[in-house]
Chain A
Amino acid sequence: SQKIEQNSEALNIQEGKTATLTCNYTNYSPAYLQWYRQDPGRGPVFLLLIRENEKEKRKERLKVTFDTTLKQSLFHITASQPADSATYLCALYPYSSASKIIFGSGTRLSIRP
């Protein structure tokens, strides 16, 4: 069956360190993959998109990698800050379903001062 898996456990990181979040998928052929940030009680906010032919994408302190062989994406936040504390969602845009972006259940990240 098709699955998207993110770290189910919350991730606690010391301020200033690099936070790394994982997104694994099975039985999908994604055209591209996206990462979103969601704060409690609010809608997700789009952060980054990476296409299947791209290995890495960067935006300020954020970096995303996409390995279609491993069927995995890694999301890095460097020099993490308490304001980065939120839930981070990965989402796949599969070739097979043009409009149905499919979300993982998210990883809660806490950055302690």
Chain B
Amino acid sequence: DAGVTQSPTHLIKTRGQQVTLRCSPKSGHDTVSWYQQALGQGPQFIFQYYEEEERQRGNFPDRFSGHQFPNYSSELNVNALLLGDSALYLCASTSLAGGLYFGPGTRLTVT
């Protein structure tokens, strides 16, 4: 049983560019959340997708957008990248036990 998978593992982009990160939830999970984690900080909630719709959103600008597909996989898109967008981007799916199952993350570096 595969856990949460994310791609790519690492990514280097230039300021102003756009990036797309991908996530497949754990088998049987239909809800996907995205988090941004800066170095030395806890994960910050970006948004959550359920039934292909954005259900909740954190305090992130419209440059951050997402999508969920019928197979429950999800994408996170960030436009007009800023240096401050450099972080570990985590995808998580929800378990019946109430905890979040996190993927390994995508390390995004903006130069």
From B98, which residue of chain A is reached at the shortest CB distance? Answer: A49
Contact A41 B107 (CB under 8 A): yes
Q: Decide if B101 touches A46 in the complex (CB within 8 Å).
A: yes
State whether the Cβ of A102 lies closer than 8 Å to any Cβ in chain B.
yes
Determine whether the beta carbon of B98 is less than 8 Å from that of A44: no
Q: Is the CB of A99 within 8 A of B48?
A: yes
Interface centre among A46, A47, A49 (most CB of B within 10 A): A46
State whether the Cβ of A103 lies closer than 8 Å to any Cβ in chain B.
yes
Partner among A42, A91, A100, A104 whose Cβ is within 8 Å of the Cβ of B56: A100
* Chain B residues with a Cβ under 8 A of chain A: 4, 33, 35, 40-45, 48, 55-56, 58, 88, 90, 92, 95, 97-105, 107
* Chain A residues with a Cβ under 8 A of chain B: 4, 32, 34, 36, 41-47, 49, 89, 91, 93, 97-106
The 3 closest A-B pairs by CB, nearest first: A46-B99, A43-B102, A103-B42
